[in-house]
Amino acid sequence: MNSNAGRIEEAAELVDSDNHLFRKITTRIVPVLWLVYFFNYLDRTNVAYAHLRMKDDLGFSDPVFGLGASLIFFGLIAFEIPSNIVLARIGLRKTLFRIMILWGLCSAAMSLVTTPTEFYILRFMIGVFEAGLVPGALYYITLWYPTQRRGQPCAMFYTAPSCAGIVSGPLAAGFMTYLNGVGNFKGWQWLFIMEGLPCLVLAFVAYRVLADSPDKATWLTRDERRRVQNLIQDSNVAHHTLDRQDFLTVARDPRLWVLGLTGFLMLIPQFGLTFWQPTLLKGMGLTVMEVGIYSALPAICGVVTSVLVAKHSDATGERCWHYIGSALTAAVGLLLTTFFPSNTLLTLLCLCLTWAGFVSAYAMLWTFPGRIFSGRVAATGLAIITVIHGSAGIVGPYGLALIKTATGGFTISLYTGSVLLVASTLIFYPFFSRRSTLQLEQAR
């Protein structure tokens, strides 16, 4: 009896020790990754607010802006997988340093744009330079956390773009309003400068604070390093190599392509709305400052709802219907937005519903790759999915611009977005319902 009590007490102490260890790891690495992703989102989407003034100052048409907004994703797609293969060999610190220095400089250089060609080139290069960031960060998390502990750091990491979405509007409005004319620069030029240059500082911070893997973390004790390595050893996540067989193993799994296609369909309307929502609101007679402030409300709803949905999903252990419900919520929100073209309050409420669905659905979607891929193939699997998802960024902003130009408004594009969201759930369900998952695992 005493022996059993001793073993129980020893097990409880080990659990407490592990909890303390991973809190220590989380406190060290997650805030840095979060800040990097936060600024990444700001620099990727600030053009949506800059466009409110760039359009008049530079004479850019809607298709020019739409194509420029989309070109960043061409760069991402072209270099996402190569960047992650390099990351697996040289480590995250060097990769992040290279990404942030080059993307920060390129983002700040957007302030010097005068022609569509310059706009296109810089947007494409920003995509090239930031390629590999998100899947690389997710892969990095697998190096530090065993499978059962990855949910929390991933969820925390994915709050960064949502939080950036909350402050991006007010920040952009403030820079464009209060810095307009300072130093002979327009407000939209200051927007690019003020959100691009901090990335240079953050690059040095990340390089100093992060370690490439637990065995190289001098801020952990020898016993702590050994404990982390033992916990992750089963999935071989400490190996930083990738060969042809690993790639083929990933590519043969149909769930990889279903996750990619589901996200592609869902993200087309999400990317479209991300870059065109400020224009939609300004078209209702709002000032730039009002657009910036009001844009924060849907983002706040997205963050709060995604946390609640994720918490309920974790408590129940159910993922599939949480994704489907969230995606359909976004579809309904988009559809309802078309009903109130001149009512600002009702339009904002519909956008809040839409973003609650968008953010929750995308967070749910990313709970599935970690259940399918691990070890050496994880970085490649995540990169392939991210590339497919990134392709939606090519279609969404530019496609919406073409539809808006052809029809004179946003109604048809919002209808189209609703249909695509419904289609994503129809493709997703047969492969990720509980019954389908069990059947596929038994077949394997």
Q: Three-state SS across 327-359?
A: HHHHHHHHHHHCCCCCCHHHHHHHHHHHHHHHH
pLDDT-based confidence at residue 245 (cuts at 50, 70, 90): low
- Domain annotation for the chain: domains and CATH numbers: 2-443 (1.20.1250.20)
C-alpha triplet 49, 164, 302: angle, nearest 5°: 100
| pTM given for the model | 0.78
Q: Exposure string (b/e) for 8-22, b if CB count within 10 Å is 16 or more?
A: eeeeeeeeeebeebb
Which residue matches tokens 């339009």? 347
Q: Which residue has the higher pLDDT, 234 or 432?
A: 432
- What is the C-alpha separation between 397 and 127, in angstroms, rounded? 15
Alpha-carbon separation of residue 221 from 19, 62, 93, 272 (angstroms): 15, 56, 20, 47
Convert the pLDDT of each residue in 407-435 to its tens digit. Answer: 888 889 999 999 999 999 999 999 887 65
**Cα separation of the two ends of the chain:** 43
Nearest alpha carbon to residue 192 among 51, 297, 57, 295 = 51
Convert the pLDDT of each residue in 197-222 to its tens digit. Answer: 999 999 999 999 999 889 899 999 99
Write down how long the chain is.
444
* Contact present, 323 and 364 (Cβ < 8 Å): yes
Backbone phi, psi, residue 374, to 5°? -155, 175
* Cβ neighbours of residue 26 closer than 8 Å, sequence gap 6 or more: 152, 153, 156
- What is the C-alpha separation between 195 and 48, in angstroms, rounded? 13
- Across the range 273-294, mean pLDDT stands at 88
DSSP state of 295: T
For the cut 70, the answer to whether the pLDDT of residue 238 exceeds it is no
Convert the pLDDT of each residue in 143-200 to its tens digit. Answer: 888 877 777 788 788 788 878 888 998 999 999 999 998 999 999 999 999 999 999 9
* Cβ neighbours of residue 340 closer than 8 Å, sequence gap 6 or more: 346, 347, 350
